[in-house]
Structure 1
Amino acid sequence: MNREAVVVRTSTSALARWPEPPRPPVPDAVLAVVRAIHERYGEGITAAQLAAEVYVSQFHFSRVFTMAVGVSPGRFIRAVRLVAAKRLLLSSTLSIADIVCEVGYSSVGSFTSRFTATVGMTPTSYRALDVADRLVAVAPGFYRIPDGVGVLSPAAEDLGRLTLRAGFPGAGDADVFVGLFDEPVPHGEAVASTVVRGARSGDPISLEVPAGNWWVTVAARARGAFLASRSTVEVRPDAHSFLTLLLREPEVTDVPFAATVRTRPASVVSLRRTA
């Protein structure tokens, strides 16, 4: 199989005209808690404290929050703290101990253990390596896609092909990231990924990926806006899977994440235009 990502350029794009499907409203109490998490994660807040602040039992609060946001309040807090820590590691000269205090962990040891288990490297290694150049991040005020062009995937015997069409408003071009991860809220490395420059809404992006069930993250920079979407996909050996996603601007209730692409040399992305 040919190890490269292929973008088949189309002359028109129906996806550019598709309206975004309506999303169920988030309860006011959940929205207030999400905003409180983003504002106060450095204070060491807990899910139990947040439930008490909205005057409901912790069990009921957790159930309603999970239904509205997609993850438990505890997991949302951990995701916010981890992304904040990554941002500080990459953009500041603060010591690890200072970062621990900034993001609300109780000790350097507990932070280092959780960070290493979740990300796959220590905080010190994260800061020292070329992580900043390989980063995809979708979080309030922290939006990034990697600069590299090409498809990155591990050598594997059981490979399939995924073709994805990403729709976004307007008729302009965008830089599009497609990444497959082994967890719903990615924090480590992508299983496979590609970055395509100058893609148009609805262009099929096709790449080889290992067989398995994966969570797909798509992010795009388009005309000064940052758009994203997530889904799941099953890829079977020597088979072709298809997925269509409509991108939208991230919302405060989206679970934040910051992950990286692999460092194996990328093959060149090819572009073909059809009439």
Structure 2
Amino acid sequence: MEHLVQHAVTTIRERFWEPLSLDELARSAMVSKYYFLRVFTRVTGVTPGRFLCAVRIQEAKRLLMTTSLTVAEIAVRVGYSSTGSFTRRFTELVGLSPTHYRRLSLETPGEKREPARPEAASAAPPAPSAARCSGTVTGVLHTAGTVLSPVHVGAFDSAMLQGTPASWSSVTAPGRFTLTRVPAGTWYIHAVAQARPAGSAADTEPVPLTATAGPVRVKDDTARRIDITLSPPDWSRPPILSALMDLDPQPMAA
């Protein structure tokens, strides 16, 4: 039934600004909505509603970076009737407000930046828990291509790469990584980099590489070791939403 999910994902990507419902997506696949929901979630790792929201927010990020449209205009273009609802959702999933994301994305490389602080209270893990109970996640990153950027690795509370991580690190090349002070709990380890495919020419356009491991259970004062392999995302992967992974991470470190 994977082809039904792929058809639904194509529909979402092509008509994300429309009020697509679970019933409509299930009808187009000619299955019951309950069966469709189970299959879609198993294949993509998220529900159809969350996938749709991710596609909308990803398009909003693109418009913020490449156009002069106002936040209100962008909200309408990606399917939101309320600018306030759009701003709250964007801030929760990206980790920055739309205006803050636009300001950071438009700054020139090397320019001194104002420290960016997560603006969604729900996006960050509770500080008291992180201070009292935390562990360490270590592992090795693998890839077949030539990595052209730092590899950003973080512990997130969702299988979808969204919000702000509980702990993050950047490494200059595939190899060993360490995430320290990861709060006790269940996390997903996400990694992102830009790379040139193996065997391609030096002027080949870089492609994104991603990897996800989890759920990973972290206990107090313990270390977990995992191996993850970076690869180009396929059609079933929801878009990357966290600003930490597609902007220079230094402003997010504060």
Q: TM-score, normalised by structure 2?
A: 0.74
Structure 1 residue aligned with 2:30: 55
CA distance in 2, matches of 1:217, 1:264: 16
Output one character per residue of 1:76-108: Cα deviation in whole Å (capped at 9) or x when no partner. 111111221122223321112211221112232
Instruction: Flag the 1:251–1:173 CA change in 2: closer, same or farther, 3 A.
Output: closer
Match of 2:81 in 1: 106
Q: Match for 1:123 among 98, 115, 124?
A: 98
Query: How far has the Cα of 1:215 moved from its partner?
Result: 1.2
The residue aligned with 1:221 is: 194
Q: What's 1:32 paired with?
A: 7
Uncovered stretches (5+) of structure 1, i.e. residues with no partner = 1-25, 134-153, 267-275
CA distance in 2, matches of 1:249, 1:167: 13
- Report the alpha carbon displacement of residue 194 of structure 1 after superposing the two structures with TM: 1.6
Amino acid at match of 2:165: A
Q: Is 1:77 the counterpart of 2:52 in the alignment?
A: yes
- Deviates most, 69-78 or 221-230: 221-230
Letter of the aligned partner of 1:242 in structure 2? R
Identity %: 35
Give the conservation status (yes or no) of the 8 Å contact 2:139–2:225: yes
CA distance, structure 2, for counterparts of residue 258 and residue 67 of structure 1: 20
Partner of 1:136: none
Instruction: Identify the match of residue 169 of structure 1 among 144, 154, 168.
Output: 144
Normalized per residue, the structure richer in helix is 2
Please tell me whether residue 160 in structure 1 is matched to residue 135 in structure 2: yes
User: Following TM superposition, by how much is the alpha carbon of 1:56 offset from its aligned partner in structure 2, in angstroms?
Assistant: 2.3
Deviation, 1:265, is 5.2
Matches within 5 A, 1:187-198: 187-197=162-172
* Residues 93 and 241, structure 2, Cα contact 8 Å, conserved in 1: no
Q: CA deviation at 1:122?
A: 3.7
Q: Tell me, yes or no, if the aligned pair for 1:211 and 1:234 is still in contact at 8 Å.
A: no
Answer whether contact 1:156 1:210 (CA < 8 A) is retained: no
After TM superposition, the structure 1 stretch with the greater mean CA deviation from structure 2, 244-253 or 158-167, is 158-167
Q: Which residue of structure 1 lines up, in the alignment, with residue 240 of structure 2?
A: 257
Letter in 2 for 1:209: R
Alpha-carbon spacing, 1:161–1:116, altered in 2? closer, same or farther (3 Å): closer
Q: Any unmatched runs of 5+ in structure 2? A: 108-126, 197-205
Q: CA separation in 2, counterparts of 1:226 and 1:162? A: 23
TM-score (norm 1): 0.69
The AA in structure 1 aligned to 2:177 is I
Structure 2 residue aligned with 1:94, among 69, 76, 93? 69
Greater shift in the superposed pair: 246-255 or 89-98:
89-98
AA aligned to 1:246 is: T
Quote how far apart the aligned CAs of 1:193 are: 1.3
Query: After the TM superposition, which of the residue ranges 32-41 and 51-60 deviates more from structure 2?
Result: 51-60
Task: Please state how far the C-alpha of 1:173 moved relative to its aligned partner.
Answer: 5.0
- AA matched with 1:106: S
Structure number with greater Rg is 1
Q: What residue is the counterpart of 1:43 in the other structure?
A: 18
The Cα of 1:219 is off from its aligned counterpart by: 1.5
What secondary structure is seen at the aligned counterpart in 2 of 1:208? strand
Q: Is the partner of 2:15 in helix, strand or coil?
A: helix
Q: Give the alignment partner of residue 182 of structure 1, picking from 157, 160, 175.
A: 157
Structure 1 residues 132 and 166: alpha-carbon distance in aligned structure 2, compared to 1, 3 A threshold: farther
Q: 1:117 to 1:227 in 2, by over 3 A?
A: closer
- For residues 104 and 264 of structure 1, the distance between their equivalents in structure 2, rounded to whole angstroms, comes to 28
How many residues get paired?
217
Structure number with higher strand proportion: 1
CA offset at residue 249 of structure 1? 1.1
CA distance change for structure 1 residues 68 and 182 in 2, over 3 Å: closer, same or farther? closer
More displaced 10-residue stretch of structure 1: 223-232 or 241-250 = 223-232
* 1:43 counterpart SS class: coil
